[in-house]
Amino acid sequence: MITLTFPDESKREFPDGVTGAEIAEGISKSLAKKAMVVKLDGELTDLAEPITADARIEIVTRDLPDALEIIRHDCAHVLAEAVQELFPGTQVTIGPVIDNGFYYDFAREEPFHPDDFPKIEAKMREIIGRDAAFTKKVWDRDEARRYFGEKGEAYKVELIDAIPQDQDIRFYSQGAWTDLCRGPHGPSTGKIGNAFKLLKLAGAYWRGDSNNPMLQRIYGTAWANDNDLKAYLTMLEEAEKRDHRRLGREMDLFHFQEEAPGAVFWHANGWTLFQALIAYMRRRQHEGGFVEVNTPDMMERGLWETSGHWEKFGENMFTTITPDERVHCCKPMNCPGHVQIFKNGLKSYRDLPLRIAEFGKVHRYEPSGALHGLMRVRHFTQDDAHIFCTEDQITEECISVNALILSIYRDFGFEDVRIKFSDRPEKRVGSDAVWDKAEDALKKACEAAGIAWELNPGEGAFYGPKLEYVLRDAIGRDWQCGTLQVDFNLPDRLGAFYIGADGEKHVPVMLHRAMFGSLERFTGILIENYAGHLPLWLSPVQVVVATITSDADDYARQVLDRLEAAGVRAEIDLRNEKINYKVREHSLAKVPAIVVCGKREAEEGTVNVRRLGSKDQALLPLDQAITAFVDEATPPDLKRAGVAKVA
């Protein structure tokens, strides 16, 4: 007999080899009907899989979050079957679940087209309607290779050859169609439902290697019900409207070009926004006791080998060989440079904590296919900082950094923030004992700060565990931005020490901290979160002064002078165009306020204020309008400090 513990902590004994399906049936027929898989000790498992040991068990029904992964995995298999039925000769390769959906890569000479999607979706519904059971098979390696070899599935044969010798070769069939798969799957295709949709096509190199053949990738999404599918598709439509690349062109912020892939060409407006973010962060860091430094963009390879970055990131680092045959690397991170600053000059325990920050430009190679506007680039700026402290100071410093990060996000309108605790990755430096100490220290700091977190297993940095701050934007998308990491390894590897109260040398703890993360990426997130309607304090051009007739030109210039003298970023439009044309043009560029000046306003000393996104107009005395603009253009941190001027 085996003992199974249910979510309500009740325990029941069952015969060895009982299945999840039998347990669900024994509880109630309605539960058995809704069940998709079981969760055993946190792992999703087929309902038909025999259970042979004591475990914690949960019956996962299709209305639970865990069921989505199964629905999408099942849907990917149905997509592959549908494609092969409709387009004979197509080879299937891999089809994993991804965030909010799935994809499948196909090898086919003829290109797919979005016009094929309705036909494929209809075939998928037909397959789902057959309600064929998903059944698992385990074959020996030779039998598996022979099966796919006879079918002409060369990619599947290659995948089989890559499976370690000590692992089973597992397959899942749905009716007569079979695929190589680790599982798990739901009971049958009918459990998928019809809340799915194919979304887009893309090219993808086999195994992500540009030396391999190009495959055709079909992306899709699947949900538990039609309402969830509709909500997701609506979000995608809204996301397309908010695409920062399109808005970047309309707002004249930046551009990209082939001569510098993954690098941003900032225009004047974009650079103004970028510098406004840096100025804000510089003030907040100063409040937090950080001093700003700057380290070289390029350093010798030996430093990166010692730090461990070369082993971890070497293939993604930009390098150059100088005439004297020394290999230099463009820095992918700022950490080793900051350790060098710490090491320069003898440090005492009285100097700790030492908090140093840098707006450091880092360089990381990303495949061309992964580049995506400001969100994924090869050259970007980090608001990086490192705190060198004693072990006794870890908790207090983590509490302080956490409060600062959350305060910053609130200033930008992000109230919904989730925190993930990422523990040791498989590829790491340092002993398990050191990692135990680092993870325990970060968990204690979270507890002391009252930080609620969810585990993100195996996603820590190679030198230490970290907290990841995930922001939810205006349309419900999640963005991982800030991080806080506890590092016992890097200072030791690079020979950093301080003199303790006992007169002996001690290795400092190094806390890595980023708040925006990548400034380029955070800028893209802001643009999309606000759909280009940035708060006035962030807008590159805060006010445009536009004339109705040339009679008001002189007055408009006076208004511009007054605004600029008050610190408002303003421009003037004296063109001989109709005012409605001017308003439309500046609205497209997402200027938050347009001040209209005509003959009447010039005579009365007033301005007519039009706000972006509103048809309303407000006729205000010039002094009152300027006072309102100055208040709105003052960054939130300066407002809290009682500074009534624009920084």
- Residue 212 and residue 147 in contact, taking contact as beta carbons nearer than 8 Å: no
β-pairing, 478-487 vs 466-472, is antiparallel
Residue reference for tokens 């960054």 = 635
Active site (annotated) includes residue 443: no
- Residue 272 and residue 278 in contact, taking contact as beta carbons nearer than 8 Å: no
Selection from 599, 587, 583 nearest residue 546 by Cα: 583
Residue 195, both tokens = 């809340």
Strands (E), 340-487: 354-363, 379-389, 417-422, 454-456, 466-472, 478-487
Name the catalytic one among 386, 562, 569, 586: 386
Residue reference for tokens 């439009």 = 573
Amino acid at 219: Y
Name the catalytic one among 75, 335, 446, 481: 335
- Residue 618 and residue 609 in contact, taking contact as beta carbons nearer than 8 Å: yes
Contacts of 537 (CB under 8 A, 6+ apart): 276, 632, 633, 634, 635, 636, 646
Residue 411, both tokens = 């200033």
Name the catalytic one among 512, 582, 586, 590: 512
Active site (annotated) includes residue 384: yes
Name the catalytic one among 312, 466, 569, 590: 466
β-pairing, 617-621 vs 593-597, is unpaired
- Residue 42 and residue 34 in contact, taking contact as beta carbons nearer than 8 Å: no
CA 246 to CA 240: how far, in whole Å? 9
Active site (annotated) includes residue 382: yes
Name the catalytic one among 56, 170, 301, 364: 364
Amino acid at 156: K
Active site (annotated) includes residue 113: no
- How would you list the strands of the sheet with 169-174, edge to edge? 134-139, 169-174, 177-180
Active site (annotated) includes residue 267: no
Active site (annotated) includes residue 466: yes
Name the catalytic one among 46, 384, 423, 573: 384
Active site (annotated) includes residue 386: yes
Strands (E), 390-433: 417-422
Mind telling me the catalytic residues? 335, 364, 382, 384, 386, 466, 512
